[in-house]
Structure 1
Amino acid sequence: PLLLLLAELGCNSEPTYPWKDAGTGERLTCQQCPPGTFVAQHCSRDSPTVCRRCPDLHYTQYWNYLEKCRYCNVICGEKQVEVQQCNATHNRVCQCQEGYYSNMELCIRHSECPPGSGAEKPGTPFEDTKCHKCPPGFFSSNSSTNPCQPHQNCEQQGKVTNVQGNQYHDTLCTSCRLGGGNTTQGPAVEDDDCEQAMIDFVVYQNMPVKKLKRLQQILERSPKKQQPWTRAAIQEKFRTFLTHKKEEHYEVTKELLEALRIVKLHSIEEKVRKRFLL
């Protein structure tokens, strides 16, 4: 009980500091000033310490016996924002703005996770983005700071799976009646949904990248020398191009089948004809 009482007294007592009275030479124990104030006059035998509030743009954060407050000397730099204003008890606090993190006293933009990967842990003002490979059932089709997204469920939408998703792209669904089932009526080539399904099916076939590029060159009428893009990037760009041509009412089906023959992708051409009853 005695130890507990002494501990409580120690916790409740205000901090002190030793002081020598310049006039009398007497050694005294003065009370410190609380945060937000400073010592305007040290104590004497007859009077306690006189504390005064810090002036504007000055502060003291702890109990102290300073004769003047500290100046708020923190200035927010480039790509920083003020998260705490200078006040009587705290210096100004800055941190990196949204989308940036602190590294070697500089604010660096958060790293983007490459296609096929997503943010396992989003970046903060103090740490960079932590990326990880998208697990089965999830994908990321572009570089971003977002987490991997789940593949859509075609059955829940009353559709069928046309292209199975992977870590780079979503599962692609269609309302088109695909060949090979029990239906007696096949897909209509002029049907917009079926033509889109055919585009998706061809673009995401597992063909050599060299042949994929050649197919793209023929249909886009682009030069042979292209940017060194990844398979996923080429597929995304090629799909966007073909979809745009379809919307402009070009004969995409006819041109795509012809290009498959030129590139000698006969097995894929056969799959397309069988699947879409062409």
Structure 2
Amino acid sequence: MDFKFIALLILIGSFMGMTVAQASCDPETQYEKDGQCCLMCKPGTSMSTEDCKNPQCQPCLDNHYQDKYTTKNKCLQQPYCDRNKNFEAQVPKSKTERSICKCKVGFHCSSEECITCVEHTVCQPGYRAKVIGNNSQDTECEQCPDGTFNNNASWYAQCRKWTECEKGYQVEEKGTHTTDNTCAGTQRGHIIVISILSAVFMVTVVILVLVYRAGCIKQRTKNYYEPQMCEEDITAHKETTYNNQMTPEENEDELSHELSSEGFTDKGNQVMQERGKEEIVSRQESQLESQFESQEDSQSMDQFYKQV
């Protein structure tokens, strides 16, 4: 009896010791072997030589990964992202985590396993994208709300508000779900524009007339540009030039010819000559008076422009 009891105690103690030894190992980084806690290889590597206390670990090969501590001698292979199935181009892959194949922009996974990618749903004109598609979800479309429109077809389409006509304009054609408001100027606005343009035109004409008249007066008083004189000045200038060309000598010849044509006696001859001389003198005096008056007018106009 005593022997059996002692053997039972020894068996129970051994079992309890093994349990304690197993419980002391870290399940994430260690493993138990022959009652010992042995080390594992860290993520991104595989175990080439098994050694409880000092295992030999090697890095994973390209396109392979290991995301946990391991005792395996090979890493896991990365998934292949086929561009012919509308996946994005592959980027340098990590050796510590599994790569995820992503669909190209405008495409989403056809299933949960994401074996291939399919194109997003396109929202037609008059609709918008209620939910914009991404790598794992398709686009969801809905009709544009009242007062908005969309005239494009795309998987990311959005609706825009109708244009509000500015002051002086009114809605000529109301917008729809696919078209914007069309604005047109009111009749009152057209009248205002025409009135403004007419006023500007009249002011311009008045200014041109005043400038033209001022130029004529300036030419008349100072005689700066004789070839460009006004019509009335040209006529007056011709008359003055003709009178100036009639010299006293020519007048005397004309008078002598008139006297000789009439015939005269000794007494008559003296009378006609005196009469001719008087006419010559009177013509010379009238020419001098006209020249003097012209000079006075010129001086008075010069004083007027100086005051202006």
Structure 2 length normalisation: TM-score? 0.47
Q: Which aligned pairs between 1:1-278 and structure 2 lie closer than 5 A? A: 15-19=29-33, 26-44=34-52, 47-78=53-84, 79-82=86-89, 84-104=91-111, 105-145=115-155, 146-155=157-166, 159-174=169-184, 176-178=185-187, 185=191
- Quick check: 2:81–2:90 contact (8 Å CA) kept in 1? no
Measured against aligned partners, the alpha-carbon deviations of 1:186-211 in whole angstroms (never above 9, x if no partner) come to 999xxxxxxxxxxxxxxxxxxxxxxx
CA distance in 1, matches of 2:139, 2:103: 14
Change (3 A) 1:73 1:183: closer
1:96 aligns to what SS in structure 2? coil
Q: CA deviation at 1:165?
A: 1.6
- Quick check: 2:81–2:88 contact (8 Å CA) kept in 1? no
- Quick check: 1:85–1:91 contact (8 Å CA) kept in 2? no
Q: Of Structure 1 and Structure 2, which has the larger fraction of its residues in strand?
A: 1
Structure 1 length normalisation: TM-score? 0.51
1:93 aligns to what SS in structure 2? coil
Change (3 A) 1:177 1:159: closer
Unaligned runs of 5+ in 2: 1-23, 195-308
Query: Of the two, which has the highest radius of gyration?
Result: 2
CA distance in 2, matches of 1:109, 1:55: 34
What does residue 225 of structure 1 align with?
A: none
2:89 aligns to what SS in structure 1? strand
Change (3 A) 1:149 1:186: same
Cα RMSD after superposing both structures: 3.1
Unaligned runs of 5+ in 1: 1-9, 20-25, 189-278
2:40 counterpart letter in structure 1? Q
2:174 counterpart letter in structure 1? Q
Change (3 A) 1:83 1:187: farther
Measured against aligned partners, the alpha-carbon deviations of 1:61-109 in whole angstroms (never above 9, x if no partner) come to 2222211112234232421113643232134432111111111333111
Measured against aligned partners, the alpha-carbon deviations of 1:187-244 in whole angstroms (never above 9, x if no partner) come to 99xxxxxxxxxxxxxxxxxxxxxxxxxxxxxxxxxxxxxxxxxxxxxxxxxxxxxxxx
Larger RCO: 1 or 2 (CA < 8 Å, sep 6+) = 1
Aligned residues: 165
Change (3 A) 1:74 1:17: farther
What does residue 231 of structure 1 align with?
A: none
Q: CA deviation at 1:172?
A: 1.6
Q: Of Structure 1 and Structure 2, which has the larger fraction of its residues in helix?
A: 2
Percent identical among aligned pairs is: 25
CA distance in 1, matches of 2:173, 2:79: 60
Change (3 A) 1:59 1:139: same
Change (3 A) 1:184 1:115: closer
- Quick check: 2:169–2:183 contact (8 Å CA) kept in 1? yes
CA distance in 1, matches of 2:90, 2:173: 48
